[in-house]
Structures are given as structure tokens and as C-alpha cells.
Amino acid sequence: MIIEINNLTKSFKEVKAVDNLSFAVREGELFAFLGENGAGKSTTINIISTVLKRDGGTVKVCGEDIDGNAALIKQKIGIVFQNSVLDKRLSAIDNLKSRAAAYGIFGQNFKKKLEELTELLDLGEIINRPLIKLSGGQKRRIDIARALVNDPELLILDEPTTGLDPKTRRTVWNVIEKYRRERELTVLLTTHYMEEAAVADYVVIIDGGRKVAEGTPHDLKNNYAADFIRFYSRLNEAEDLFAHLGYAVKRERDFLEVEVKGTSQITKYICSYPQLFEDFEVLKGNMDNVFLNITGKDIREA
């Protein structure tokens, strides 16, 4: 395991930010760590990255106990924080040069790494510009480059794509997937975009500092999200039947939506009532549904 957390606790005066939290992250996986703002995600990340001291529990990162090994752990991880930590007084390249120097990367070694990151993240036109002249998406690409400059074993991404345009989001994820595929990079991700969480290998959801659910996206959707049949014809007949059978039915102007549990039920009804299924589609439950059903909150609104 590249991260092992057992019974982690952290309080700020009377507020318990992290409450007896335990989870593990396997080497090489994309691990989604989900929760609303204030749920304890950033506090946990700050403890993992040795920025913040815990009150209780144990934490191991990259095989090292965080007690007494902060310097070694920092050499093995890269972090993209929710709020950029780039130095606004410097140019993009000077930010990267400063970060590389902290890892002992100088001269030709830095030049080689800079060329690699410039190509991957399309930094050629912005690399020499002052940071204050860059857009939010351009700064985010520099943030990503900064986190990868030391070839980390573990990359922590705290809401890395919030507010980015689709093209920049795609660029960021293409680079992350390339590093995962070619270098077995482990990624710990927090995000408000559930389509990003849906491709994770494993998911942990926390609420009020406590773990409330965990599993693969497939298992979570099966356990916590319903599927839907959406009818576009024979609406009255379908509504009468499924309401009579006790299903949740939602009627809109031009379609009828019926909530069912699993596609096996849908197959049964198609065989039993084929006349109703002239024009329909099946909508699978998604990670937004999972989060809402577990926490009672929409993650984007939260």
C-alpha cells in the first residue's frame, strides 16, 4: 500500500475535522477521495503530505511513517493544491526551476525534465511569461508541471480541474493517465466532477470527517444508485402500470421516468409488456446519484 491510514483524528478546537478515519491506497491506482467542502478532505491531505500534524491514529505514506520521515516523504510525492501555490512574483519557468531545486534537480537534468513537461502540457508559449500574465487554466498547467517535476511516486490532486475549460481538463487528464500508464504513478484525487470519480479504481466518501462509504465505482452505483427507464411513448399506459406496481414514477411533458433497481428488472418488463417499449431508453445510475443518496447532498452544491 502506498498510503495506509488507521483511526486518524484531527480537531480544530471543538470542531472534529477528521473522525476516526481509516483507508488504504494501493500502488498504481487512481483513488477518489470524495466529500463536500468541509468534510475533512483537505485536512486529511495536509496530514498525508506532512503539512499538518494529526491528533491521533497512524499514517504511512510511500512505506514511511509520517513521524520523523517528513523530508523523505516530501521527496516521493507531488501535490496540486486546491488553491495554487505558485509564486506570483516569478515567471512560469522560474517557478518550476525553484521547485526543481528543492529536489536537487539542476542544470541538464532540469533542462531535460522541463522539455518533457513543456511538451506534455503544451507550455511552450507560456513558459517564459510572468505568472500574473497567465490565465487560470495556464496557471493550472504550471501547477501540474510543478507537482510532476520530481517524478513522484504519489500524486495528490485536490480538485485539480475545478473551473477549467474542457480542453485544459482533457490535457491535464491525458498527462496524468500517461504517467500512470508508463510510470505506475499512484493518484489520490478529490473532485467535484463525478465523471472523474467514475473512472477511479476505488472510491472513499467521507461526511463530517467520517468514512460513510467505499468501494469501486461499479459497486457503489449498484448499491446506492437506481437505474431509470425513460418512456417517450405510451406514457399513460406506462404510468398506470408502474405506479400500480409501486415504482417511483416521474411524469414530464414529453417523457415518463420510472426508477428501478437493476437492469434485470428492466429486461423482465420488456419481455412481459413489449407493447409499452416502443420508444424508450435506459439510464444507468451515476456517481452523482451515489453521492446524493449517501450524504443527502449534491456535491457541486455542497
Predicted confidence (pLDDT) per residue in 242-285, tens digit: 999 999 999 999 999 999 887 778 888 999 999 999 999 998 88
Collect all residues with Cβ–Cβ distance below 8 Å to 170 and sequence separation of at least 6: none
Burial class of residue 188 in the structure, from the number of CB atoms within 10 Å of its CB (0-12 exposed, 13-18 middle, 19+ buried):
buried
Looking at the chain, the whole-number percentage of residues with pLDDT higher than 70 is: 98
pLDDT per residue over 167-206, tens digit each?
888 988 999 999 999 999 999 999 988 999 999 999 999 9
Query: Whole-angstrom Cα distance, residue 186 to residue 171?
Result: 18
pLDDT given at position 285: 86
pLDDT given at position 222: 87
Q: How many angstroms separate the Cα of 231 from the Cα of each of 191, 263, 268, 285, 286?
A: 33, 15, 16, 16, 19
User: Measured on CA atoms in the order 216, 173, 136, 96, is the torsion positive or negative?
Assistant: positive
Task: For residue 60, give the 3-state DSSP assignment.
Answer: strand
Overall pTM > 0.85: yes
pLDDT given at position 284: 86
State mean pLDDT over 116-130.
Answer: 93
Mean pLDDT for all residues in the chain: 92
pLDDT given at position 261: 80
pLDDT given at position 298: 57
Q: Contact 256/238 with Cβ under 8 angstroms?
A: yes
Q: Is the pLDDT of residue 301 over 80?
A: no
Q: Contact 80/57 with Cβ under 8 angstroms?
A: no
User: Sheet harboring 256-260: ordered strands across?
Assistant: 248-251, 256-260, 227-231, 280-283
Determine which helix (DSSP H) or strand (DSSP E) holds 294, and give its type and residue range.
Answer: helix 287-295
300, 294, 280: which is closest to 225 by C-alpha? 294
Q: Where does the pLDDT of residue 150 fall: very low under 50, low under 70, confident under 90, or very high at 90 and above? A: very high
Q: Contact 21/8 with Cβ under 8 angstroms?
A: yes
pLDDT given at position 240: 95
Tell me how crowded residue 165 is: count the other CB atoms within 10 A of its CB. 12
pLDDT given at position 297: 62
Burial class of residue 234 in the structure, from the number of CB atoms within 10 Å of its CB (0-12 exposed, 13-18 middle, 19+ buried):
middle
State mean pLDDT over 71-97.
Answer: 92
Q: Is the pLDDT of residue 299 over 70?
A: no
Query: Whole-angstrom Cα distance, residue 84 to residue 128?
Result: 18
Query: Grid coordinates standing for 45?
Result: 491531505
pLDDT given at position 257: 94
pLDDT given at position 152: 96
Query: Whole-angstrom Cα distance, residue 109 to residue 103?
Result: 11
Tell me how crowded residue 247 is: count the other CB atoms within 10 A of its CB. 17
Task: For residue 192, give the 3-state DSSP assignment.
Answer: coil
With cell 518533457, the residue in question is: 116
pLDDT given at position 273: 93
Q: Is the pLDDT of residue 292 over 70?
A: yes
β 30-34/186-190 pair status = parallel
Q: Is the pLDDT of residue 300 over 70?
A: no
237, 224, 285, 221: which is closest to 259 by C-alpha? 285
pLDDT given at position 146: 95
Query: Tell me, what DSSP letter sits at residue 140?
Result: H
Determine which helix (DSSP H) or strand (DSSP E) holds 218, and give its type and residue range.
Answer: helix 217-224
Q: Contact 257/249 with Cβ under 8 angstroms?
A: yes
pLDDT per residue over 52-83, tens digit each?
999 999 999 999 999 989 999 999 999 998 88
Q: Where does the pLDDT of residue 295 fall: very low under 50, low under 70, confident under 90, or very high at 90 and above? A: confident
pLDDT given at position 145: 95
Choice among 58-67, 174-183, 227-236, 291-300 with the minimum mean pLDDT: 291-300
Q: Contact 6/57 with Cβ under 8 angstroms?
A: yes
